[in-house]
Chain A
Amino acid sequence: MDSSTSVALEPLLSFLAFSLSQIESGFYRIPGSAVVARYVKSSHQNDPGRTILELILVIFAIRTLLQSRTRTDRSGKHFIRFSEKEIDELVDEWVPEPLVQPLSEWEQKDLNSVPVIAGPNGPKPKLLATGKIVTNLASFNFAGLAGNEKVKERALETLQKYGLGSCGPPGFYGTIDVHLDLERDIAEFLGTEASILYSQGFSTISSVIPAFCKRGDIIVADRSVNFAIQKGILISRSTVRWFDHNDLKSLEDTLISVEKDRKKRKGPLTRRFIITEGIFERDGEMVDLPKLVELKLKYKYRLIMDESISFGTMGRTGRGLTELYNVPASQIDMLVGSVANGLCSAGGFCAGSAIVVDHQRINGTSFVFSASMPALLATSGSEAITLLRNNPSVLLNLQDNIRAIRAVLEKTEGITLLGHRASPIIHFCLRTQQQSLSVTQSTYDHEAEERILQDIVDDSVANGVLLTRAKHLRGQEMIESRPTIRIAASAALTRKEVEKAAGVVKASVTRILSKRR
């Protein structure tokens, strides 16, 4: 058997030997082959193991050299390479999408339910649709400055003198002397060294934060800050840690853990900021300012406080939380407020030390790139500050009205009032069976609650009280909050009117909730 296979294989073997000798002689005829042969022999050095390893390396290197270039990071991982025919097909069947998606039924209803007012806004405006006069509990008019006669006179004078437009950004022909006057007035009012004026309230805080916080800095922010602050933090690219809403114990824990992390990493000491609001727009809670300042000094953080709601409403003369808690305004590094909400004019400001304010003249994006506010709005703001200084009793009226509204609404069945009892914005939401936090997200229905609240709002408007839901961008904010109705108390209404209006709201709530049951 063995000999027969070897006999069969003999011609094959002799053919192989012959072809090998042919290849060898052909190889040696190529010029330079002797060099290569000598090189390989001396590399080999009689050690086949190493030669194999080196061969593997060489093959790997050649494979790498032969690979073609891949795409860069920037082109994205989702790029699909289509063939020409596929591209043509896709182009043929393409139908352009509309610029704006058509509104869903709920969104259409929401849009239609926004009331249109005939004439100027004020504490008792007239609705265009029905011609009825309603009590305005929706617009921010805390000290009753909207439609104030003195402010109107001053604004008209300014309009005669300066015209309307401001001609440009504040750094480039847009600053008028009345802007500088208002900045000085705000700084004197608050007791800071200087202040800077921004032309829009929303973009104030979202310009102040990126002006000071850069990538690599640490921000410790409250979870329920408003949308403008969230955008500012996102733009700044800083590392952000969130602490539980209005919980100073949680804040302290976060500050300690940030310091521990930094020590563990042996990282350099970077700038650190605490960002919070004076009165939270989302639910009306008020922050404990002395304790906050104490924490900030202990852990060496800078404090950015957004007093959009509390400036012009809190304190004896409306200076905000600093007056209320008797904390000097120099303790707050950047005090951001809203001239639109508190002084019923337009825009916002940031008050602080001279260095803080001067830095923003170049680095505050909204200051550099947006037009400055019209002159008449700046003088309205200055006049409003004078009025607040001279008539602090309006704020006592405001607090009376707040107490009156809360007293009526607390007795209402089926709703829960939120926020601090002195806060000028009063949120209420539907009271659910389970009062605790054990409501899981799957059983929670935003849409249904919003519909019920919208029914309450519509019913109130029909009965003479203008209300609004607190509007949020669903899916864009960092945390989803429960739908609420937001009441903005005003000092321009008398106590009787406010009690009557609150009674109407209570009746609407009871009516709608009993219908639902």
Chain B
Amino acid sequence: MSRPSPKLLHLTVPVPADIKGRRRSGSIVKVEEVGGRTEELLDRNAYLNINANWVNAKGAWLIHVVLVFMGKIIIDTIPGMTQQISWTLVNLIYLNLSYLMFHWVTGIPFDNELHGGAYDDLTLWEQIDDGAQYTPSKKWLFTAPILLFLASTHYTNYNPWLFAVNLTALIVLAIIPKLPQLHRQRVRFLTGDASGVSTPVTPSFPKMDQNPLHAANPAESHFG
């Protein structure tokens, strides 16, 4: 009684041939959009996102100036510090910390239960102002590193290497991630398919790996 009868005919209409036996994707680098599904949009709009609203406060604008100022003073107290190294250090530390805060970390630390994980793929930059571009806070956050860079080149005379380092750091860490064309896009290196031939992935299945635009994890991207 418990042995099932042999299957005579599969009931389901077979999936089209291009999904079965799908080849592994050949590209090394792929740009993908995240966080655009309807359920996620709906879940984001249910409540106010306090994790992203604080950047609109005026104190949050002023804190950049204050922190840079204090950072410069502290770094200047280190014995043997020249102006070139000091400004470079201030510049690089500011750019790295702001990249870490705005463009690397995803998800929300507070009120995670309210939004049900709808923000898990979004960085703070993408959460600000519900994804609108060219808002006042975003314009300020865009301009602040540029102003810092211009101030640093005005007050010292960089040798060409340090100038190149500063400029590249500015462009790669501050300008490119903030461009509206890269909003909610992720660059993936060498991804394999998440499933094998036997269980082809349905179109609505989200990709399992997360590999945002960064170069600090070469091992994972290399063996991915």
| Contact assessment for A265 and B12 in the assembled complex, using a CB-CB cutoff below 8 Å | no
Contact of A441 among B11, B13, B135, B143 (CB under 8 A): B13
Chain B residues with CB under 8 Å of A254's CB are: 195, 199
**0 or 1 for each of A37-70: is its CB under 8 Å from B? (1 = yes):** 0010011010000100110011011001101111
**0 or 1 for each of A56-89: is its CB under 8 Å from B? (1 = yes):** 0110110011011111111000000000000000
A282 within 8 A of B: yes
Contact of B139 among A65, A215, A416, A429 (CB under 8 A): A65
| Contact assessment for B194 and A417 in the assembled complex, using a CB-CB cutoff below 8 Å | no
B110 within 8 A of A: no
Q: From known contacts A416-B8, A479-B13, infer whether A69 and B132 are also in contact, taking CB-CB under 8 Å.
A: yes
**Partner-binding segment picked from B62-70, B89-97, B148-156:** B148-156
B163 within 8 A of A: yes
**0 or 1 for each of A252-267: is its CB under 8 Å from B? (1 = yes):** 0110010001001100
Q: Which of B163-203 contact A (CB under 8 A)?
A: 163, 167, 170, 175, 180, 184, 194-196, 198-199, 202
Residue of A nearest to B211 (CB): A265
Contact of A481 among B11, B129, B131 (CB under 8 A): B11
Q: Report the separation of the CA atoms of residues A325 and B5 in the bound assembly, to the nearest whole angstrom.
A: 16
Chain B residues with CB under 8 Å of A435's CB are: 8-9
Q: Report the separation of the CA atoms of residues A239 and B196 in the bound assembly, to the nearest whole angstrom.
A: 17
| Contact assessment for B12 and A479 in the assembled complex, using a CB-CB cutoff below 8 Å | yes
| Contact assessment for A245 and B133 in the assembled complex, using a CB-CB cutoff below 8 Å | no
A241 within 8 A of B: yes
**0 or 1 for each of A305-334: is its CB under 8 Å from B? (1 = yes):** 000000000000000000011000000000
Q: From known contacts A54-B153, A264-B209, infer whether A421 and B12 are also in contact, taking CB-CB under 8 Å.
A: no
Chain A residues with CB under 8 Å of B45's CB are: 74
| Contact assessment for B195 and A241 in the assembled complex, using a CB-CB cutoff below 8 Å | yes
A439 within 8 A of B: yes
Chain A residues with CB under 8 Å of B170's CB are: 57
Chain A residues with CB under 8 Å of B21's CB are: none
| Contact assessment for A250 and B198 in the assembled complex, using a CB-CB cutoff below 8 Å | yes
**A interface size (C-beta, 8 A):** 72
| Contact assessment for A64 and B9 in the assembled complex, using a CB-CB cutoff below 8 Å | no
B54 within 8 A of A: no
Total A-B contacts with CB atoms under 8 angstroms apart: 156
| Contact assessment for A440 and B120 in the assembled complex, using a CB-CB cutoff below 8 Å | no
**0 or 1 for each of B1-34: is its CB under 8 Å from A? (1 = yes):** 1101100111111101100000000000000000
| Contact assessment for A64 and B132 in the assembled complex, using a CB-CB cutoff below 8 Å | no
Q: A505 to nearest B CB, angstroms?
A: 19
A188 within 8 A of B: no
Q: Report the separation of the CA atoms of residues A245 and B117 in the bound assembly, to the nearest whole angstrom.
A: 30
Q: Report the separation of the CA atoms of residues A419 and B139 in the bound assembly, to the nearest whole angstrom.
A: 64
B44 within 8 A of A: yes
Q: A450 to nearest B CB, angstroms?
A: 14
Besides A288-B4, A324-B2, 16 more A-B contacts (Cβ < 8 Å) are A50-B153, A58-B146, A58-B150, A64-B143, A68-B134, A69-B133, A69-B134, A72-B130, A72-B132, A73-B44, A74-B45, A245-B10, A420-B4, A439-B14, A479-B13, A482-B12
Cross-chain pairs A/B with CB under 8 angstroms, 22 sampled: A39-B154, A43-B154, A61-B143, A64-B142, A65-B139, A69-B132, A70-B180, A223-B12, A224-B11, A237-B117, A239-B208, A250-B199, A254-B195, A257-B195, A261-B194, A418-B9, A419-B5, A420-B4, A427-B11, A440-B14, A444-B13, A480-B13
Per CB-CB distance, the 5 closest pairs between chain A and chain B, nearest first, are A73-B131, A72-B130, A215-B117, A72-B132, A67-B134
- Chain B interface residues (CB < 8 Å from chain A): 1-2, 4-5, 8-14, 16-17, 36, 39, 41, 43-45, 116-118, 120, 129-135, 139, 142-143, 146-147, 149-150, 153-154, 157, 163, 167, 170, 175, 180, 184, 194-196, 198-199, 202, 205-206, 208-210, 224
